[in-house]
Amino acid sequence: MSVLVFIDQSEGHIKKSSFEAASYGAKVAEQLGTTAEGIVLGSVTGDVAALGNYGLKKVYTVADATLNSFDAQVYTKVIAQAAANADVIIFSNSTTGKAVAPRLSVKLKAGLVSGAVALPDTSNGFTVKKTVFSGKAFANISVTTAKKIIALNPNSFNIITTGGTAAVEPFAATIDAAKVTVTNVDLVKGEIPLGEADIVVSGGRGLKGPENWGMITELAQLLGAATACSRPVADINWRPHHEHVGQTGLAIAPNLYIAVGISGAIQHLAGVNRSKVIVVINKDPEAPFFKAADYGIVGDAFEVMPKIIDAVKKLKGA
């Protein structure tokens, strides 16, 4: 038995979700009485050996420049080679994980559980808990294939630091030429990536127009948060589409989600109901979002938000 964790990176920086996947993989390995190893593709600027701090004993690197741009088919083939001796392969259920894990599952004839939220139960077989119906329910999936793949939902497993250092070993892989050519990449710079954020401040149609978004971005800046929005807000171009959360947008699971002027339609909740704490600010006491909220403020956002911003400023001495 051995466990292989795919370590995802962007622009050479290892993503926070990969630290979660590594911590999770180390715990799975512990359960199975084995060790966890990682694989990272493309050039990484950080210290790969430091992944030992999250429980990995060894990290394989494939530093070929062609892997700096993501191609699901090429990635799948490289990871399949590295996974030849692995019994459990772990991904973060990120955009990359969602593209690669199913392909790898077919290639290796390995059972896949995507959207896992807990460690496997190995007391009788191998059963993994995952979210279903856009996070409204859980299912326990029993995996019976020899090789198993788990794609772990971001923010569903705590990062565990162990203080170790991983051995780093280049992995000689056969790398196919990409069948898809990336002609340009537009990167959103200087913002906290929404999928990785601990805190998210989000606005809906109740904010009346894009000119009022200053209070969302100001609170987000003060809290070190990412900004998000409901779908209609993105559809009418008040905010960019990459901020749209929900059933048809990004599904997120921050520690704190602050929803301002959002009704809480089921399609919106589908993308945010895994947040640990939800705070809702809405002037309508009957707004459905209050049913899903941990804390609710019934009030006009234009009166409530400046008060919250002032209070946070005072707290921070800003």
Ligand X SMILES: Cc1cc2nc3c(=O)[nH]c(=O)nc-3n(C[C@H](O)[C@H](O)[C@H](O)COP(=O)(O)OP(=O)(O)OC[C@H]3O[C@@H](n4cnc5c(N)ncnc54)[C@H](O)[C@@H]3O)c2cc1C
Chain residues binding ligand X by CB under 6 A are 204-206, 230-233, 246-249, 261-263, 265, 267-268, 271, 281-284, 287, 300-302
Q: How far is the CB of 8 from ligand X (least distance, A)?
A: 24
Residue (46 or 306) nearer to ligand X, CB: 306
Residue (115 or 249) nearer to ligand X, CB: 249
Calculate the dihedral angle through the C-alpha atoms of 188, 256, 92, 291, rounding to the nearest 10 degrees.
-110
Residue (3 or 207) nearer to ligand X, CB: 207
Q: How far is the CB of 253 from ligand X (least distance, A)?
A: 15
DSSP 128-188: EEEEETTTTEEEEEE--SSSEEEEEPTTSS---------EEEE-----PPPSS--------
Cβ atoms of residues 304 and 297 within 8 Å: yes
Q: How far is the CB of 235 from ligand X (least distance, A)?
A: 9
Residue (71 or 243) nearer to ligand X, CB: 243
Residue (152 or 305) nearer to ligand X, CB: 305
Question: What letter does residue 296 receive in the DSSP assignment?
Answer: E
Tell me which residue has its CB nearest to ligand X: 246
Q: How far is the CB of 142 from ligand X (least distance, A)?
A: 31
Residue (138 or 290) nearer to ligand X, CB: 290
Q: How far is the CB of 222 from ligand X (least distance, A)?
A: 20
Nearest to 27 by CA among 16, 17, 35: 35
Q: How far is the CB of 77 from ligand X (least distance, A)?
A: 33
Q: How far is the CB of 246 from ligand X (least distance, A)?
A: 2
Element holding 3 (H helix, E strand)? strand 3-7
Element holding 304 (H helix, E strand)? helix 301-316
Residue (43 or 212) nearer to ligand X, CB: 212
Calculate the dihedral angle through the C-alpha atoms of 61, 66, 70, 72, rounding to the nearest 10 degrees.
-90
Q: How far is the CB of 300 from ligand X (least distance, A)?
A: 4
Going by C-beta distance under 8 Å and a sequence separation of 6 or more, which residues neighbour residue 307?
A: none
The total number of residues written for the chain in this structure: 318
Residue (125 or 209) nearer to ligand X, CB: 209
From start to end of 197-261, where are the E strands? 199-203, 226-229, 256-260
Beta bridge partners of 69: none
Please give the distance of CA 114 from its chain centroid, rounded to a whole number.
12
Cβ atoms of residues 270 and 149 within 8 Å: no
- Fill in the amino acid letter for 27: K
